Amino acid sequence: MLKELLNQDTAPHATNVLVGKLGDVLIRAVGKPFDMAINWGRIYSLWPVHLETACCSVEFGAASSPRYDVERFGIIEAFGSLRQCDLIVVMGTITRKMAPRLRMVYDQMPDPKYVIAMGACAITGGLYFDSYNVLPGIDGILPVDVYVPGCPPRPETLIQGCMLLQEKIKRTKAK
């Protein structure tokens, strides 16, 4: 396999693939003892994508205001490019027009990535259960890690949801 990859004629993008494979090998070799260290690094860099989908973004904004100041936990730093994010907070209702875009944004994010469904609309459709243009919850299109209920959730609830996600990351194997 290695020989195939090193042959530039058969595999034009071989170098990238090779680096990726080497990374896999490295993780498998050092994985177990370094799991804790890798996860520890990850839980303090949960930066979300800037994708506002509905009205819960008001409370999301309030979470970084001086009173709640969520950045003191090292999470939900308000800005960042899509390529540098590892968290997507789905803030509220997902309409049928937004759903393909949401999936597209999720697909472009690098691994590992986590999803928080914020608000009743993102969980089940909420108040808009009978609207013709609203998805009944986002778990049909994204794998959700933490559900944060409320309509809209208070900033404290969002912070608690993020801490639950941190707990979850601590207990999983580093990929």
Partner 1 sequence: MNSGIEKDVEAKDTTEEHSDNSENTKSDSMSKGDAKKFYEEKGLDLSPDVPVKPKPIPTFEKSLADKISSKFGDKLRVDYVRADRIRVTTKREDIIDVAKFIRDELKYDHAESVSGVDYPDSSEIEVIYHLGSYTDEKLGRQIFALATRVPREDIPNPGSDATRTPSLRDVFYSVEFHERECFEMFGVYFEGHPDMRRLLLPEDWADIPPFRKDFKIKGR
Partner 2 sequence: MTTQLPPGMNIETVDDKIMTLNVGPQHPGSGHMRLIIKVDGDYIVSCDPDPGYVHRGEEKMAEYRNYIQNIPHLERPVIHDSSNILYPYCLGVEELLGIEVPERAKYIRVIAAELNRCIYILYWLAIYGIFLGHSTMFMWPAGDRELFIDLLEAMSGARVTHAYLVPGGVRNDLPSNFEERCLRQVEYFEKRLKEYEAVFYQNPLLKARTEGSGILSRTDAIRLGTTGSVLRASGVDFDVRKKEPYDVYENLDFQTIVMKEGDSYARSRVPYLEMFESCRIIKDALRKMPKSGSVRTKLKPNPKGGNDEVYRRIESGRGAIGYYIVSNNRPEPYRVKISVGSFRNLICMPYLLKGEKLGNMPAVYWGLNYWPVEADR
If one asks whether residue 77 binds partner 2 (CB under 8 A), the answer comes out as no
Distance of alpha carbon 131 from alpha carbon 152, whole angstroms? 18
27 binds partner 2 (CB under 8 A): no
Span interacting with partner 1, options 19-27, 30-38, 72-80, 91-99, rule CB under 8 A: 91-99
**For residues 44 and 129, which CB has a smaller minimum distance to partner 1 in the complex?**
129
Which residue number, 13 or 97, has a Cβ lying nearer to partner 2?
Answer: 97
Rounded to the nearest 5 degrees, what angle is found at the Cα of 99, between the Cα atoms of 90 and 139? 60
> Considering only residues 28, 111, 130, 171, which one is a binding residue for partner 2 as defined by CB under 8 A?
130
Looking up tokens 């993020």 gives 162
Q: Is 132 in the site for partner 2 (CB under 8 A)?
A: yes
DSSP for the chain, written as a single string: -HHHHH-TTT-TTHHHHHHHHHHHHHHHHHHHHHHHHHHHHHHT--PBP----STTHHHHHHHTSTTT-GGGGT---S---GGG--EEEEES--BTTTHHHHHHHHHHSPSS-EEEEESHHHHH-GGGTT-TTB-S-STTTS--SEEE-SSSPPHHHHHHHHHHHHHHHHHSPP-
Contact call for residue 45 and partner 2 (CB under 8 A): no
Nearer to partner 1, 95 or 160 (CB): 95
Q: Which of 28, 132, 140, 173 binds partner 1 (CB under 8 A)?
A: 132
Contact flag: residue 124 with partner 1 (CB under 8 A) = no
Closest CB 95 distance from partner 1, rounded Å:
7
Say whether residue 48 binds partner 2 (CB under 8 A). no
Site residues (CB under 8 A) for partner 2?
Answer: 49-55, 57-59, 61-62, 64-67, 78-79, 82, 93, 95, 97-98, 101, 105, 127-128, 130-134, 151-152, 154
